[in-house]
Chain A
Amino acid sequence: MQPIISVRDVSKQYRLGAAGMNYPTLRASIMGMATAPLRMLTRRRNGSAQREMLWALRDVTFDVRAGEALGIVGRNGAGKSTLLKILSRITKPTSGGVDLYGRVGSLLEVGTGFHPELTGRENIYLNGAILGMRRLEIARKFDEIVAFAEVEKFLDTPVKFYSSGMYVRLAFAVAAHLEPEILIVDEVLSVGDAAFQKKCLGKMSEVAHTGRTVLFVSHDLNAVNSLCERAILLHDGAVVLEGAPRDVTAHYLDRANKLYTPVTWFTHAGIGEEVRLVAATSVQRGEATGAVSCREPFSIALDYEIRESVRGLRLFIIVRNARGEIVFMTSDYDEPTDATLTREAGLFTSRILVPGELLKAGGYYVTFGADVKNERIVYTADDALYFDVFDTVEDLQGDRHNRVGIIAPVLRWETARASVETQRDGRETT
């Protein structure tokens, strides 16, 4: 059967300038934080002074049949986003080619082009047009979009006054009513509250099963398993496995554990002179791994050098999730410390123990830094470490990671039948 998307030997190379590491805008925008671990690996291989070339994709070949829902999985930096960008024509491949036999609509982000000063009504038209809808098409679906987003009352209010929930609902509603033959979706399901997510999933499945083709990228392996008929696994820019979603996601989790290489910083990559990070590693069960199970405790090991003794030095890490939200911050002052103490120069290793049953599945970035509290920042290294947190395959059916909230701690519930006395007094008895 003739494919609707045919991808042939697609490669994409990014040239990272020598100054790239120090120039925040260039660095941030070339591929985002996503490639940080890859970039460090490349640098390690090539030495630091040369111009870095990064193959975000290498000889990717696959077909998608019309009406099929294909999931794309892989860790951050595997090339998923680059692939979607090439398929949605945002960027061009370095070599190879893609043939698309239908109109493409891509949702790499909801609310692209929303303008805060414009009203909800105006933004529906603007956003619809940006996503490739015709004016008549938008007008026809207008009521449906408004009803889906549940913003009827605020249609003529500028969206800058919307709550973030309303904003996201409206943005998704417009996107959901896009009706291309090929729909490319990147993680947009992770928006809104649970009730709205439910609605979005329903809409997605509707799209997927009205003969339209869906390409779906997500960290949410549950969603990939339930939405897609086939999945491909990307690793280091290459397709390593293609098949039934369940097999691919299982393989992905398995493989993620085996293929990990800890990151070592050979060059002085952070900002600041007195402290220098040498290596950052995530360790579980005594092994360095880039993929940790969320069920068991793991540790973050930091090797660093204090080059000059500093009075009152505090070392800290900030852990962010893939959406950039700070999940937690911790410092060596968590241990009882005398703040007036002087840390002597030398090489050190610190291990930070993170309990199990705390983090949600997903990618995490660690910023390492040192400061003198309330005085000055001594050193920071952004994206010093990236690691993925996984749940075991068996538990994919469970609901733990579908919980709302940034973390998903499993907590004890102590429940006892209240005695008659307690109910009357309203006092607690033990």
Chain B
Amino acid sequence: MDVNTNERASAPEATTTADAQQGLRREVERVRSGSVTDAPTLPREPRVRVRPGGAGLTPDLKEVWAYRELLYFFVWRDVKVRYKQTALGAAWALIQPLATMLVFTLFFGKVAGASAPNVPYPLFAYAGLVLWTFFANAVSNSGNSLVSSANLLTKVYFPRAIIPASAVAAGLFDFVIASALLVPLLLWYGVAPGRTIVFAPLFVLLATLCALGVGMWTSALNVKYRDVRYVLPFAVQVWMFASSVIVPSSFAGARWRWLLMLNPLTGIIEGFRASVFGQTLDWPSVAISALITLALLFAGLAYFHRMEENFADVV
């Protein structure tokens, strides 16, 4: 009986689409015969020229800027979804670096006897970890971002660079939460930040740009070779050991320290620590890090741009 009712309910609808089209046709006639709105006056130059190949070396940054609202919405979505899906929500932003700090303090600080100049080891570890965790998450999220947005890439147009960029930017939100814990830690250990604190944002910016460069590159590579998904977490892990997160780069000795300095994260993390702890900044190494970061960013953007026209066909 129920089944019958259902069938009966949908049967009359069957005719309505035809009715709709009849009505539509009448409406079309009406509009056509009378008050059709005037066609818009067209610009002399096309708004968009679609041509094979891409112009320029990097994605059109002006266009990315024009789509900044979309960037904002993607960041907003990432943050919102992450905190909706987890029971602890924003607390995870704290737990990750905090737990790692405790492990480091126990194993490297107590057992292996790692120490930091002028600062208690836990504070040293946490300051480094806050920035490192941001960088590592930003790189792995943006590296996978294009592949996981495949449905968008094949259905809508917008500057593709927005996707990895928003994945990096979403990480900043966690970073702000995690770095807030630095304040009580500084108070607890009685370390005064000093005037150098004004340079801290510079290092956050550099870490962001570096993550952006690496993220652009890996996300584009990931579209073509899905192996990236598996290599990335491992590579990021190895990278941490070379980034003076656990021990200061001075541990490597004067002979090998330059090698660590080629890793921009070394200079960025040490610079961030120095500015938070009120220590003197090693400007030459900051300059090297900044240069390498900019080079990475440019290379990442250039590679991304070379690949982006095929994303929709390959992903």
Contacts and interface: CB of A to CB of B under 8 A. Distances in A.
Bin chain B's interface residue count. 35 or more
A90 B24 contact: no
Contacts of A4: 42
B304 to A, nearest CB: 15
A410 interface: no
A404 B10 contact: yes
B25 A117 contact: no
Nearest to B150: A29
Interface string B21-55: 10111011001100011111011001111111110
Nearest to B13: A194
B50 A122 contact: no
Interface stretch (A91-99, A252-260, A289-297): A91-99
Given A92-B51, A404-B13, A227 B154 contact: no
A99 B48 contact: yes
A402 B151 contact: no
A147 interface: no
A99 B51 CA distance: 9
A343 B25 CA distance: 57
Given A92-B309, A205-B28, A226-B25, A197 B40 contact: no
A134 interface: yes
A198 B15 CA distance: 10
A115 B156 contact: no
Given A30-B313, A98-B50, A99-B49, A198 B19 contact: yes
A376 B70 CA distance: 49
Contacts of A399: 14-15, 17-18
A89 B51 CA distance: 10
Contact of B27 (A115, A130, A205): A205
Contact of B155 (A2, A94, A108, A115): A108
Interface string A127-140: 00111101100000
B77 A126 contact: yes
Contacts of A181: 40
A102 interface: yes
B46 A99 contact: yes
Interface residues of A, number: 71
B65 interface: no
Contact of A97 (B49, B84, B313): B49
A103 B13 CA distance: 36
The prevalent SS among residues of B at the interface is helix
A54 B155 CA distance: 21
A88 interface: yes
B280 interface: no
Contact of B50 (A30, A65, A89, A201): A89
A66 B37 contact: no
Contacts, number: 185
Interface string A369-386: 000000000000000000
A65 B40 CA distance: 11
A10 B76 CA distance: 38
B43 A101 contact: yes
Interface in A124-181: 125-126, 129-132, 134-135, 158, 181
Nearest to B308: A92
A126 B73 contact: yes
B237 interface: no
Contact of B14 (A65, A85, A205, A403): A403
B157 interface: yes
A38 interface: no
A2 B156 CA distance: 27
B152 interface: yes
Interface in B137-188: 150-158
Contact of B73 (A104, A125, A222): A125
B65 to A, nearest CB: 14
A197 B17 contact: yes
Given A102-B40, A130-B152, A117 B17 contact: no
B205 interface: no
Given A101-B47, A129-B73, A226 B24 contact: yes
Interface string B181-200: 00000000000000000000
A202 interface: yes
The 6 closest A-B pairs by CB, nearest first: A198-B20, A194-B13, A99-B46, A402-B17, A399-B18, A67-B39
